[in-house]
Amino acid sequence: MTDFNAMTEKLVACDTEGLQAMVRTALDEGAAAQDILNQGLIAGMDIVGEKMESGDMFIPEVLMAAQAMGGCVEILKPLLGDDEAGGGLNVIIGTVKGDLHDIGKNLVSMMMESAGMIVHDLGVDIGPETFVAEIKNKNARLVCLSALLTTTMPAMKQTVDAIVEAGLRQEVKILVGGAPVTQSFADEIGADGFAADAGSASKLAKQLAA
Ligand code: B1M
């Protein structure tokens, strides 16, 4: 039986090697990759977030925890796939301007790729004009915007507005997500959809593009 609490503790301790060993052991013991991700790694990052907020963890340590998580996501990657075909859907994804968080965005990207979509990951701190240019360059049918900060949520609206102003709104569906984002915010800014996690983002992407 996998001890997910021990896993969260290793993540909070930024013990990359110990954490990766624990993830491999859990897989060998038959734990599901999705459970390791949710109950071990994401739960650990939530504790990191609380410690960051209370001043018990500082940015360099938070970055180390993020790197430790990233290494484990690489181990889990082949096992997190979604077997429903994504039909070669052309997708653009990025974290919006001013925001450097990318772990959640990378998970969304990974789930979409493993569902057969062609994902163009623009990275972090992406301005509206870059999203607009890349929709044209990549002939994208779906644009995915991620934001982790309440202060960068307005950049999502600016991106939607820029897509409208560029005359591309009818060409693409827009999907938004990230911890502070809600369905009502998505409705308010005129996005086509909101997803709370990477798995549902991939499923919704297929529905939106159908
Ligand atoms: Co930042 N940070 N951070 N941080 N950070 C948060 C988000 C925070 C909640 C921590 C806290 O105070 N409790 C807080 C935001 C508060 C707020 O706005 N309400 C915060 C802050 C304040 C900051 C800084 C301002 C701190 C500072 O400098 N004083 C600064 C901002 C930098 C910037 O972006 N300009 C900052 C910096 C950083 C680091 C660089 C150190 C690091 C990021 C490293 C990296 O990403 N490479 C970091 C981290 C790691 C966090 C926490 C601890 C963890 C985030 C994470 O990766 N979670 C975070 C606290 C927390 O979230 N509990 C925090 C795991 C990940 C899998 O979850 O990203 O939510 P998440 O993704 C989920 C869903 O949201 C969803 O799917 C994923 C799960 O399947 N999802 C989508 C995400 N994008 C989606 C898109 C979709 C659909 C679903 O469709 C398109």
Closest to 2 (Cα-Cα) out of 14, 12, 15, 19: 19
pLDDT at 113 over 60: yes
For helices 16-28 and 59-76, give the axis angle rounded to 10 degrees: 30
- Residue of the CA atom closest to atom 28 of ligand 1: 59
% of the chain residues with pLDDT over 70: 97
CA of 17 to the centre of ligand 1 (A): 23
| Mean pLDDT across 167-193 | 98
What is residue 82's predicted lDDT score, i.e. its pLDDT?
A: 59
Question: What average pLDDT does the structure give for the chain?
Answer: 93
CB-ligand 1 contact for 103 (6 Å cutoff):
yes
- Tell me the residue ranges of DSSP E strands in the chain: 90-96, 118-126, 142-146, 173-177, 193-194
Whether ligand 1 lies within 6 angstroms of the CB of 94 is answered as no
- Helix (H/G/I), strand (E/B), else coil: 181: coil
Does residue 84 register a pLDDT over 60? no
Give the tens place of pLDDT for each residue, 52-79. Answer: 999 999 999 999 999 999 999 999 988 8
- Going by CA atoms, what residue is nearest to atom 73 of ligand 1? 104
